[in-house]
């Protein structure tokens, strides 16, 4: 087991049952985005770097943030060279842009990719080292500049998490930076900002939130306070995801889905994740696939693998999903829960296999090896070996 895995396990299973709970300041509700100027002024901002991507610029949310800042006399610059799986070289270029323009605050606007890139830029700007040197647990010694996150998706939870996921292009792997120092200072969660998501993105990010909640609930680092958030996230996502896809302009449904994302983010930020995310990170880094869809494809297979390790917790997950499980045998409960995961996934419009997305049998060995090194595997309820991970990838093909 790697040193980072051991460090994460020591932190997860704390002496005498003690647990920590970390979270940024969160403002939720319609109009939260309009408070960005107030918080920028609170941090004494004079020139802000806004990290975003071309899609968010086209949707108009970046322009909205700029106009709020301009109204109170704060200037800003845009950095939008951010790919769906943000790369180390993009982080380094962004940090140079931040430094050369004498910026003093960072705002991440968009989904998980711009927000993770914003976190990486902050790390580099304060620590003056290459972003690839910070992989692992608690490797960021100097906190970055003030960071405000404004999510435009409901699911990634980068706006509240202590993770930054950055792609090492040369190694074709996603690396995880896990540190309290990368938790954003402020998260402004405005459901209106999610209403420009298309159905596919709504589905992918919503299922990402569901996986966050499920993996946090069965994590070896779970605790009562994380459980409350995880179960509520499962309930909210399962109830509202397909509604949001069918009625994308329904403000109340979008609000409930964003609340589900927040609850899931608070849960996994403190309980960590598991094999689904370890494998999805491997896929995303090696084949440059959409993270949320990878999670959705893998979820039922990993749940089946983990089920017997903690069946009572999976039953509680099924109940939070809205299933009536009383009177059923253990085998019937297991089948009902896995069937409901498959039903929700298909109802959300995700029916592809990994093979459909370009993965091949010949990739399984290298994908499994990379997944075995991922930090998320440390808190999976069942301890897999590489062959176990290979079998799960093979099932998902």
Place 1 in a pLDDT band, splitting at 50, 70 and 90: low
pLDDT at residue number 5: 57
pLDDT at residue number 21: 86
pTM above 0.85, yes or no: yes
Q: In what side-by-side order are the strands of the sheet with 25-28?
A: 25-28, 186-189, 147-151, 105-110, 47-51, 75-79
DSSP 124-177: HHHH-S-GGGG-EES---S--S-EEEEESSSS--TTT-SEEEEEETTTTEEEEE
Q: How far is CA 1 from the centre of its chain?
A: 24
Cα distances (angstroms) measured from residue 188 to each of 36, 98, 158, 225:
8, 22, 12, 22
Domains and CATH numbers, the chain: 3-194 (3.40.50.1970), 199-396 (1.20.1090.10)
pLDDT at residue 14 is higher than 60: no
Rounded to whole angstroms, the Cα distance separating 204 from 350 reads: 8
Helix/strand/coil for 341? helix
pLDDT at residue number 19: 78
Q: In what side-by-side order are the strands of the sheet with 136-137?
A: 136-137, 173-178, 163-168
Place 3 in a pLDDT band, splitting at 50, 70 and 90: low
Q: How far is CA 324 from the centre of its chain?
A: 29
């Amino acid at each position: 087991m790697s040193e980072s895995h051991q460090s994460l396990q020591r932190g997860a299973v704390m002496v005498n049952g003690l647990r920590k709970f970390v979270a940024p300041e969160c403002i939720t509700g319609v109009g939260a985005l309009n408070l960005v100027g107030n918080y920028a002024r609170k941090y004494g901002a004079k020139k802000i770097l806004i990290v975003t991507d071309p899609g968010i610029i086209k949707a108009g949310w970046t322009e909205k943030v700029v106009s709020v800042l301009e109204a109170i006399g704060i200037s800003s610059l845009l950095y939008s060279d951010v790919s769906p799986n943000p790369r180390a070289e993009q982080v380094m270029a962004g940090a140079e842009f931040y430094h050369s323009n004498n910026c003093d605050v960072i705002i991440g606007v968009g989904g998980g990719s711009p927000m993770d890139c914003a976190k990486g830029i902050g790390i580099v700007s304060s620590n003056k080292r290459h972003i690839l040197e910070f992989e692992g647990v608690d490797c960021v010694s100097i906190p970055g500049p003030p960071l405000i996150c404004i999510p435009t998706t409901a699911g990634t939870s980068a706006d509240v998490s202590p993770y930054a996921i950055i792609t090492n292009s040369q190694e074709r792997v996603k690396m995880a930076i896990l540190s309290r120092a990368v938790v954003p200072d402020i998260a402004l969660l405005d459901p209106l900002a999610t209403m420009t998501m298309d159905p596919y993105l709504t589905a992918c990010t919503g299922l990402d939130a569901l996986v966050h909640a499920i993996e946090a609930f069965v994590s070896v680092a779970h605790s009562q306070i994380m459980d409350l958030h995880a179960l509520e996230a499962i309930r909210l996502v399962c109830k509202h995801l397909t509604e949001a896809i069918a009625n994308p302009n329904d403000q109340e449904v979008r609000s409930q889905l964003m609340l589900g994302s927040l609850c899931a983010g608070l849960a996994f930020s403190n309980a960590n994740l598991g094999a689904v995310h370890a494998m999805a990170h491997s896929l995303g880094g090696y084949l440059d696939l959409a993270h949320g869809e990878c999670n959705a494809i893998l979820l039922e297979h990993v749940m089946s693998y983990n089920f017997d390790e903690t069946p009572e917790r999976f039953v509680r997950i099924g109940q939070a999903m809205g299933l009536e499980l009383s009177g059923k045998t253990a085998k019937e409960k297991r089948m009902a829960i896995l069937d409901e995961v498959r039903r929700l996934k298909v109802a959300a419009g995700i029916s592809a296999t990994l093979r459909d997305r370009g993965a091949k049998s010949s990739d399984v060995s290298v994908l499994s090896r990379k997944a075995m090194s991922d930090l998320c595997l440390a808190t999976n309820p069942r301890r897999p070996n590489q062959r176990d991970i290979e079998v799960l990838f093979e099932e998902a093909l």
